């Protein structure tokens, strides 16, 4: 019995020591909490892929496609990567400013441009049926044109029959029966009494524009290759009707009704509402362009979305 009591005592001591060891030992490290996923991972990957593609196009001289991809990269980039901004600026500069070296043809199709003759009636082909205004564009000889006393005392506001916009018409300018423009579908065109200067507003419903800069870049490339004697003089960002816009001034060769070629100077103001480009464009003989510039500027400043 003594031996049994001794063995039992030693077993009890051992169990006690074991319990104390477990109780006093270091606690097991808690399982690590898995790191939460990057909430910007998808857009960052999209931006990086678009940047890589756009940079490759830029290096190959494919500037328009580079603008498209790099703009996608900038739109999705959550980090404001300066490399993306720099590359996009370079691409836009090449697209909007003439360069000495020839540029590669962009991947997307460019519109076929019809340059109207000076003081002559435009061709009906310049107005696609899909974009025809549902009612004829009236001449501003009566108040039925939408003219009103709104805006400047020197302008009468002409309102788009579809209710998209309004623009001021100079008092001694009249609307032409069949308006035309280089891009999109011309909604209204005004011409001065001498027939030397004109201004029109066009809407390009066939294109979904990302930004006025990108649309202006595609216009630049198309005009370089299709407008006779085209030369860009100035391209700068601006604001029109409360929206960002791009203003371009350029010269080109225009043929008059007698078949004689003359140098003309024109301007374009490109802005985007939603994803639809609007183009306000005007031109006059190069020698008289400065004379008409105040009227051009006043009419552009009167433009407003409905």
What does the domain layout of the chain look like in residue ranges?
42-96, 124-305
Q: Which residues, in sequence order, are CB contacts of 120 under 8 Å at separation 6+?
A: 256, 257
User: Where is average pLDDT lowest: 39-48, 65-74, 113-122?
Assistant: 113-122
80 phi/psi in degrees, rounded to 5: 50, 50
- The residue ranking higher by pLDDT, 269 or 99, is 269
Whole-number Å distance between alpha carbons of 212 and 120: 30
What is the residue-averaged pLDDT of the chain? 77
What CATH fold (topology level) applies to the domain 124-305? Protein Transport Mog1p; Chain A (3.40.1000)
Q: Which residue, 152, 151, 166, is CA-closest to 306?
A: 166
Contact 72, 84 (CB under 8 A): no
Burial class from Cβ neighbours inside 10 Å (0-12, 13-18, 19+) for residue 256 reads: middle
In terms of pTM, does the model score above 0.75?
A: no
Q: What was the pLDDT predicted at 253?
A: 95
Contact 125, 115 (CB under 8 A): no
DSSP-derived 3-state class of residue 247: strand
Triad 130, 132, 136: Cα angle to 5°: 160
Confidence of residue 97 (pLDDT cuts 50, 70, 90): low
Burial class from Cβ neighbours inside 10 Å (0-12, 13-18, 19+) for residue 136 reads: exposed
Q: What was the pLDDT predicted at 15?
A: 44
- The residue ranking higher by pLDDT, 103 or 87, is 87
Residue 44 has pLDDT above 70, yes or no: yes
- In the numeric block, which tokens belong to residue 37? 């996923």
- The residue ranking higher by pLDDT, 150 or 31, is 31
DSSP-derived 3-state class of residue 159: strand
Strands (E), 197-287: 198-203, 231-240, 243-255, 261-273, 276-285
Distance of CA 291 to the CA centre of its chain: 30
Confidence of residue 69 (pLDDT cuts 50, 70, 90): confident
Helix (H) or strand (E) holding 51: helix 41-59
Confidence of residue 17 (pLDDT cuts 50, 70, 90): very low
Residues 241-259: pLDDT tens digits? Answer: 999 999 999 999 998 888 8
User: Where is average pLDDT lowest: 66-75, 146-155, 292-301?
Assistant: 146-155
Q: Which residue, 117, 52, 111, 43, is CA-closest to 87?
A: 52
For 34-68, b/e burial (b = at least 16 CB within 10 A) is eeeeeeeeeebeebbebbebbbebbeeebbbbbbb
Region of 226 (left: φ > 0; alpha: ψ -120 to 50; beta: rest) is alpha
Task: Provide the terminal-to-terminal Cα distance of the chain, rounded to the nearest Å.
Answer: 109
Count the Cβ atoms, other than its own, within 10 Å of residue 96.
22
């Amino acid at each position: 019995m003594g031996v049994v009591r001794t063995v039992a005592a030693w077993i009890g001591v051992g169990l006690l020591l074991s319990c104390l060891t477990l109780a006093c030992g270091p606690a097991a490290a808690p399982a690590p909490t898995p790191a939460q996923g990057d909430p910007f991972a998808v857009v960052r990957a999209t931006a990086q892929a678009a940047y890589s593609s756009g940079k490759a196009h830029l290096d190959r001289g494919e500037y328009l496609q580079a603008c498209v991809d790099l703009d996608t990269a900038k739109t999705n980039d959550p980090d404001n990567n300066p490399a993306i901004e720099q590359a996009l600026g370079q691409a836009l500069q090449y697209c909007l400013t003439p360069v000495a070296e020839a540029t590669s043809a962009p991947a997307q199709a460019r519109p076929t441009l019809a340059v109207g003759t000076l003081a002559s009636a435009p061709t009906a082909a310049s107005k696609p049926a899909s974009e025809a205004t549902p009612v004829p564009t009236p001449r501003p000889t009566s108040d039925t044109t939408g003219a009103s006393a709104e805006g400047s005392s020197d302008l009468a506001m002409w309102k788009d029959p579809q209710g998209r916009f309004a623009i001021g018409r100079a008092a001694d300018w009249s609307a032409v029966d069949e308006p035309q423009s280089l891009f999109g579908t011309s909604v209204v065109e005004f011409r001065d009494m001498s027939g030397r200067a004109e201004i029109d507003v066009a809407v390009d419903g066939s294109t979904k524009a990302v930004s006025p800069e990108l649309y202006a870049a595609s216009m630049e490339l198309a005009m370089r290759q299709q407008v006779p004697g085209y030369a860009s003089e100035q391209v700068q960002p601006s604001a029109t009707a409360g929206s960002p816009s791009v203003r371009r001034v350029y010269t080109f060769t225009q043929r008059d009704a007698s078949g004689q070629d003359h140098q003309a100077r024109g301007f374009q103001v490109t802005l985007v509402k939603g994803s639809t480009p609007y183009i306000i464009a005007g031109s006059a003989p190069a020698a008289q362009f400065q004379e008409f510039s105040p009227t051009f500027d006043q009419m552009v400043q009167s433009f407003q979305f409905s």
